[in-house]
Structure 1
């Protein structure tokens, strides 16, 4: 298919080291060649910039490198890259992930044939050495090639599908008024949700087009952190934003908020293998079940949950020791 639609690829990096070599190699291997790459050096203090400059010496794609004077965080780096992008489509790629050689070709074909506002695709997680860690095919078995953005948003909120920052491509027109909020742990989810809310039509490619690298020390693989509670805050913001203008959507945000509270509590209990039960209970009651989260135990919020989740909330509130023991045994 002949076309000249430009894809802008935005790659922030901070102390990326050798990981970025695979990323650049995957870009050079693309069958579809009309793309630009914007590397944003987020104040790296290792030799990442030198590695990238060396790797770029023999590439045939257009690129630019933006050097930031200090480390401002992933959101800021992505926003800087977005402000410099000139393509009609925007793709955010992490410096340790890499795409298949037909990725851009398939994405552009779907944009040209169906004219969606965004296109997302499957991915697989791989170890640092490239070995497979996990497929996610089961999460996409009920997705059509073209769906309304509302349907996709509902499936996303209900965890029927999984979209991460690098498994989705946007029409620039759709996200021209958006930016990544500097809210750390949940910046990707926040942006994805707001982009879907701005969209009407979503395209889906039933292929694993990107390798999502599982790195030691990354947020997803690190020890439990209270930053995970930011997810609850995020869904609380969206719930309050829509509770007076979209009942169905607000109920879905409320349900996801409640489930996040259960999942975060469960994650903490599972992460503490050596603490005594009474110490775990004290931590939960001090840091997770706070004045801000306890209102979510009210009946008006719990009624949207399934019976299993309601029982979990009941045990967590009234019989926390029993709840902790059950989670440890599960």
Structure 2
């Protein structure tokens, strides 16, 4: 991969889209981390999805003191993050788009460093710190690690997105508005809609100009609650994976295996949640079992963990035993 260098131009407007629902615990930390960025030419579209806590008040405070912060309310409460992000995309007039979750934060100087390289680039993918929580000093401390920018084509982008380290979330990227085009998040899906969005965007081109940034510019706070709630909305995501695997087999044959791998990991994660909360859907599990069997070779080409390979093997051959083992180990 080609290592590249560039200089900062603040003439390009960046839209930062933040879906918000009852996020008072960490929302101020999130918004402050954006407001404190050295790169000043941005707008923050705060999409409130009917919050019943103090989230709206926090947003109004930022809006009243900084014209770059714009509060927008969804028409119907709890429309979901996909709807909220789509509202932001439809309202944005910026050259570039970035998604941030309301309980996460940006490291100081993140946007300035990333925007240095956005000229003529479709997307920059960067790394995240992942933890259950972040002490304030971690959020406020400027990044000290070295920053390497590597040029990517479509094949290497799919490897970064869907390979052994998951970059399939909407955050952790700056998109060119032209690259997103008319693609939107599917609003009928409550878990995995980010995968569908990313696959749709990357499948819209036969070739792309992308960059992978090695720096951990984003703080992602792990929250298991929403995934548990949304376990029943997963079948459309698997169907989308299957569709895009076939597309990428044509446009990027060598990297379609990474999409198959991420589909396999997604299936296991859903089966794990079903086992943990004791939801049984035998017909869905049977379909997932057959999919894992069909794509086992591609999955194993990417998976490096012997333990994870064993999990795939047990689920493929004995799904009931797999669920029982996971349920016991989870408790």
Q: Check conservation: 1:10, 1:38, Cα contact below 8 A.
A: yes
Mapped to 1, the partners of 2:310 and 2:224 lie a distance apart of: 35
Mapped to 2, the partners of 1:9 and 1:118 lie a distance apart of: 14
Q: Does 1:286 align with 2:282?
A: yes
Mapped to 2, the partners of 1:246 and 1:65 lie a distance apart of: 40
Aligned with residue 67 of structure 1, among 64, 73, 81: 73
State the SS of the aligned residue for 2:26: helix
Aligned with residue 217 of structure 2, among 190, 193, 209: 209
1:7-18 matched pairs, under 5 angstroms = 7-18=14-25
For CA contacts below 8 A with separation 6 or more, give which structure has more relative contact order.
2
Mapped to 2, the partners of 1:28 and 1:180 lie a distance apart of: 26
Structure 2: which 5+ runs fail to align?
1-7, 139-147
* Aligned-residue offset at 1:325: 6.8
TM-score by length of 2: 0.77
TM-score by length of 1: 0.77
| CA 1:316–1:10: 2 relative to 1, 3 Å | closer
Of 74-83 and 155-164, more deviation after overlay is shown by 155-164
Paired position in structure 1 for 2:296:
302
Q: Does 1:20 align with 2:27?
A: yes
Instruction: Tell me the alpha carbon deviations over residues 39-80 of structure 1, each in whole angstroms, 9 at most, x when there is no partner.
Output: 222222333212211244333x52322222322221111111
Structure 1: which 5+ runs fail to align?
134-142, 273-279
| CA 1:287–1:86: 2 relative to 1, 3 Å | same
State the SS of the aligned residue for 2:186: coil
State the SS of the aligned residue for 1:306: helix
| CA 1:302–1:206: 2 relative to 1, 3 Å | closer
* Aligned-residue offset at 1:315: 4.3
* Aligned-residue offset at 1:2: 4.2
Instruction: Tell me the alpha carbon deviations over residues 3-22 of structure 1, each in whole angstroms, 9 at most, x when there is no partner.
Output: 31110111121222242111
| CA 1:236–1:104: 2 relative to 1, 3 Å | same
| CA 1:201–1:45: 2 relative to 1, 3 Å | same
Larger Rg: 1
Instruction: Tell me the alpha carbon deviations over residues 247-293 of structure 1, each in whole angstroms, 9 at most, x when there is no partner.
Output: 54555544443454345445555x37xxxxxxx8xx66725433x33
Equivalent residues, number? 305
| CA 1:256–1:8: 2 relative to 1, 3 Å | closer
Q: CA RMSD in A?
A: 3.5
